[in-house]
Chain A
Amino acid sequence: MTANGPLPHAVADVVEHIGRRLQKLAYSESLNPAQWTLLRFLARSNPSARTPSGFARFHLTTKSAATQTIDALLRKKLIRTGTHPHDQRAKLLELTPKGYRVLRRDPRNILVTALEKLPEADLLHLARLTSALAHDLYLADGRASGRTPTRPEEHHGTHIGDRGP
């Protein structure tokens, strides 16, 4: 037991509970958590990143798993393939109007709404604390599993970071 007594265990229980609750909520609108993540990714990322490999890196998953998620949303007509605004040769993924409509019903909004009710100072404090926790947790997990950051293999012209971190 640390100097903080049982409190770290109690907070860990709460964080785990929130995670489980959100995971359960994410099975809605006939979508799964990875599919919601793809919808959010396409809504907020810069256009050049909206590729299958970009989504795989965003979600830290394999390209085949990312492809399955993409194919499912293409079948549901929530996303479509489009052309990059700055490069007519590049094919990018984008949300359809139906995809935007579904995303407005994102089950995660229940958490966002609760957070929006917090005073700004509390929210900023929470942001710092959760960021520090997530960062430390992932780095500890990476060290334990022996993962290292990926390395760039190449980049072309003014299109930066196509295959690197």
Chain B
Amino acid sequence: MARILVIEDHSDFRDTLSAMLRSADHDVRSGCNGRDAIDMLGSETYDLLVMDVLMPEVDGIEVLRAIEKMPLRPPVVAISGGGVLPASLALSLASALGASAVLFKPFYRQELMEAVNQALCSERTLH
């Protein structure tokens, strides 16, 4: 079981993501924007961050930049279906900034679980 932070601005997606991860026996907390992510990662330790890249105000790219120097930065699964940026660029940027796995929307539960397991096993860091 891992302690996972889910950051997604759309409440339906956030609830579904959280439910999928809980069904795999993970301990899940969630937030609705990049500011939540930075605050929650600064105050508690997580094993994994699952985050939508494109969100209003503080987006996932800014979160990845902000947490880069955190000593206990968790691995990241970045998610995008496009928006103000093409999904290709959003996820390439997330990978360049250290995301361990990326997922294009739409995806199925099995694909999420594969990405989560890949990220949890990843030892990649950018420190």
Q: Which residues of A contact B (CB under 8 A)?
A: 37, 41, 45-49, 54, 57-60, 84, 86-87, 124, 127-128, 130-132, 134-135, 138-139, 142, 147-152, 155, 158-162, 164-165
Contact = CB atoms under 8 A, between A and B. Distances in A.
Interface residues of B, number: 38
Nearest to B87: A58
Contacts of B71: none
Contacts of A49: 81, 103-107
B24 interface: no
Which 5 A-B pairs give the minimum distances between C-beta atoms?
A: A161-B105, A149-B83, A60-B86, A49-B104, A57-B82
Nearest to B23: A158
B4 interface: no
A160 B107 contact: yes
A54 B106 contact: yes
A37 to B, nearest CB: 7
Interface of B: 10, 12-13, 16-17, 20, 52, 54-56, 61, 65, 79-89, 93, 96-97, 103-112, 115, 126
